[in-house]
């Protein structure tokens, strides 16, 4: 899509670099492919680097425009290495998609601390570490930038049984606004936004419920979102001209009742 006279379009990001966390599966994989097809360089990060490489190669056969990096967002050093790799290969990051995340259906009355800690470490602290390092990169280059968090409808209201997962996604919502305020106070030309999907067919539900069979049942109740639907929302945010900041997109399957 070309950039139009009023500044809309993905051409404004042509040849710029997006770092996508959790690019080995689901929404992150769809996003990585889509941004490559939109003409961006993409650094895909996840613990399963081989799967990230497969995802990127499918959209970038020459391998010129993408880089697969092994990264565990719970580990600060691992994140720093990923940003260093992005700087070395493409000169730095212009867009950060904080997508890596997971849930455990884990009741508050009998929750497992390891599972709570993992959700907090990935969904909240990992997102903060990546955001901090992306901002340093964007500011050092004096450029504009865009940071997009993949939140959840579980951050807009509390689904029954969502326990600590819903708390982490409420935190993501608060962090979106906190960052927007900081950026304004600093007069940064960097934008921030969040997308809150309802049910999306990915690896998420199987992991959340620890059962592929239960996940299939959830996804078959009605037509749920596809990962590409979320990617479309991200492209919409990025396509807006510099003076337009889409703060939040709530994206439910039409038939989702809650
Ligand atoms: N699917 C839904 O219904 C839904 C709804 C609302 C919001 N979301 C949000 O969407 C985001 C993406 O989830 P998804 O639905 O695409 O699920 P998914 O298919 O399970 O993918 C999750 C991704 O997160 C990565 N990840 C998990 N732990 C990580 C860690 N410690 N370090 C780096 N990467 C890590 C995984 O990569 P590795 O395992 O290779 O590290 C994988 O690429 C999450 O933030 C989730 O909360 C999903």
Q: How far apart are the first and last CA of the chain?
A: 35
Q: What spacing in Å lies between the alpha carbon of 35 and ligand 1's midpoint?
A: 18
Pocket of ligand 1 contains residue 27 by CB under 6 Å: yes
* Mean per-residue pLDDT, 169-183: 98
Tell me, yes or no, if the pTM score tops 0.85: yes
Residue 162 CB–ligand 1 contact under 6 Å: no
Closest by Cα among 130, 251, 152, 149 to 191? 149
pLDDT band at 197 (very low <50, low <70, confident <90, very high): very high
| Helix, strand, coil % over all residues of the chain, rounded to 5 | 50, 15, 35
Task: Check: CB of residue 175 under 8 Å from CB of residue 128.
Answer: yes
Average pLDDT over residues 93-100: 98
Ligand 1 pocket check for 46: Cβ under 6 Å: yes
pLDDT digits (tens, 9 = 90+) for 103-127: 999 899 999 999 999 999 999 999 9
Mean pLDDT to the nearest integer, 153-177: 97
The residue contributing the CA closest to ligand 1 atom 43 is 22
Tokens of 228: 């590409």
Length of the chain: 258
The overall average pLDDT reported for the chain is 96
Of the candidates 210, 204, 247, 208, the one whose C-alpha atom is nearest the C-alpha of residue 225 is 204
pLDDT band, residue 3 (cuts 50/70/90): confident
In the annotation, is 165 catalytic? yes
Task: Find the Cα–Cα–Cα–Cα dihedral 224, 207, 247, 121, rounded to 10°.
Answer: 180
Q: Using the mean position of ligand 1's atoms as its centre, give its distance from the Cα of residue 136 in Å.
A: 24
Token pair recorded at residue 111: 């929750």
Give 69's strand partners.
45
Listed residue (153, 115, 130) closest to 21, CA to CA: 130
Question: Which residues neighbour 67 within 8 Å (Cβ) at sequence distance 6 or greater?
Answer: 41, 42, 43, 44, 56, 85, 86, 89, 90
Which atom number of ligand 1 is nearest to the Cα of residue 165? 47
DSSP helix/strand/coil, 187: coil
Q: What is the pLDDT of residues 218-247, one digit of tens each?
A: 999 999 999 999 999 999 999 999 999 999
Q: Which of 104, 173, 202 to mutate to test the pocket of ligand 1 (most atoms within 8 A of CB)?
A: 202
Q: Which domains does the chain have, with CATH numbers?
A: 10-251 (3.40.50.720)
The whole-number pLDDT of residue 1 equals 55
Residue closest by Cα to atom 47 of ligand 1 = 101
Contact 13 CB / ligand 1 (< 6 Å): no
**Extended beta strands in the chain, E state:** 17-21, 41-46, 66-70, 95-98, 145-150, 190-197, 248-251
Task: Say if ligand 1 is within 6 A of residue 176 CB.
Answer: no
CA-47 nearest atom, ligand 1: 41
> Are the C-beta atoms of 104 and 168 separated by less than 8 Å?
no
Instruction: Find out whether the beta carbon of 155 lies less than 6 Å from any atom of ligand 1.
Output: no
For position 5, what pLDDT does the model report? 74
């Amino acid at each position: 899509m070309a950039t139009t006279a009023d500044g809309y379009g993905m051409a404004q990001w042509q040849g710029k670099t997006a770092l996508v966390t959790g690019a080995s599966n689901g929404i992150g994989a769809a996003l990585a492919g889509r941004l490559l097809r939109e003409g961006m360089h993409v650094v895909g990060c996840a613990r399963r680097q081989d799967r990230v490489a497969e995802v990127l190669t499918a959209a970038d056969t020459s391998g010129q425009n993408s880089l697969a990096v092994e990264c565990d967002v719970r580990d600060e050093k691992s994140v720093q290495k990923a940003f260093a790799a992005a700087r070395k290969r493409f000169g730095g990051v212009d867009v950060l998609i904080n997508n890596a995340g997971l849930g455990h259906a884990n009741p508050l009355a009998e929750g497992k601390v390891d599972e709570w800690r993992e959700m907090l470490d990935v969904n909240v602290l990992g997102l903060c570490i990546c955001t901090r390092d992306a901002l340093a990169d964007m500011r050092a280059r004096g450029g504009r930038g865009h940071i997009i968090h993949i939140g959840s409808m579980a951050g807009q209201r509390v689904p029954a049984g969502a326990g600590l997962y819903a708390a982490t996604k409420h935190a993501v919502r608060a962090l979106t606004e906190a960052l927007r305020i900081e950026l304004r106070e600093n007069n940064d030309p960097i934008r921030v936004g969040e997308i809150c999907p309802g049910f999306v067919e990915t690896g998420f539900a199987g992991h959340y419920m620890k059962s592929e069979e239960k996940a299939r049942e959830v996804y078959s109740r009605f037509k749920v979102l596809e990962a590409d639907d979320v990617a479309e929302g991200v492209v919409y945010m990025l396509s807006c001209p510099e003076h337009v900041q889409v703060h939040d997109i709530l994206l439910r399957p039409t038939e989702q009742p809650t």
